[in-house]
Amino acid sequence: MSEIDPLGPDVAGPDPLGPDPRLAIVLDVDDLELACLMAKAVRPWMGVAKVGIELFATAGPDAVRAMIDLGFEVFVDLKFHDIPTTVGRAAAAVGRIGGRWLTIHTAGGVTMLRAGVEGLAEGSGGTAEVLGVTILTSERDRSPNVLAERVAAARDAGCGGVVCSAADLTVVRNTAPRLARVVPGIRLAGTSPDDQAWPATPEAAIAAGASMLVIGRTVTADVQSYAGVQSHADVQSYADVQSHKAGSEQLEQALARMAERARLLAAAIRSLRPQETPGSS
């Protein structure tokens, strides 16, 4: 069988302006080979790869290195929350791997966040930044006061940015205007919000001040469906994918649809303002 072409025959070629550094593809799978196929499919349009807990638990640092080898900046989404010494040491280890961003919970407070910031800077030689996770969708207290306190903690600890919903962007900008604003829950217009409580279209999020958009199932749904995973709550294996990767027509079609959605998403925000690397303003 021939090697899979992630783009397929009907998808337009790479954007002449290159991958957009404001777009991060979510690779929430437990198979590094599949993650690489997904990443290759969107690489012409998306400049950041998000390695989360699931993929990191499966492949460890190799997952980060693989995305770097493909040309991505890597968003390591491990959401550290522990005592400051542990967070600092773990962050230093992530920095040595080569990640560009690392998530740490702002609920842990300024001291813990600062330990993470300092550890990551030490491990990366100052090239990586911490993103403070503000409020999870599962948290009951989403009051503006709690949000403002957590954003202020990220600011005071020296974080490079925060992760927040599109609905929280005004509070974040008012509290810490210099922090990068990383927004998950992005959905193309007319698609299902899935389990996102505060979804937003890419155009609306960028217009509201998002620095980076975290793109998951609005682009990856077909590939995840192919692998038999219908939601993040499913505890299923991607082992059944192994025998099909070498030349599955179904997987090739799923990757082509994924690439096309990435192209549409990049086109949707390209004209809103010039490309700007998150955290550079």
Q: Which residues are catalytic?
A: 79
Residue type present at position 277: T
C-alpha triplet 240, 244, 246: angle, nearest 5°: 140
**Tokens found for residue 90:** 């773990």
Whether the Cβ atoms of residue 119 and residue 152 lie closer than 8 Å to each other: no
C-alpha triplet 22, 208, 163: angle, nearest 5°: 55
Q: How far are the Cα atoms of 103, 122, 136, 144, 193 from residue 141, in angstroms, in the given order?
A: 20, 34, 10, 9, 21
Is 160 exposed, middle or buried, given 0-12, 13-18 or 19+ CB atoms closer than 10 A? buried
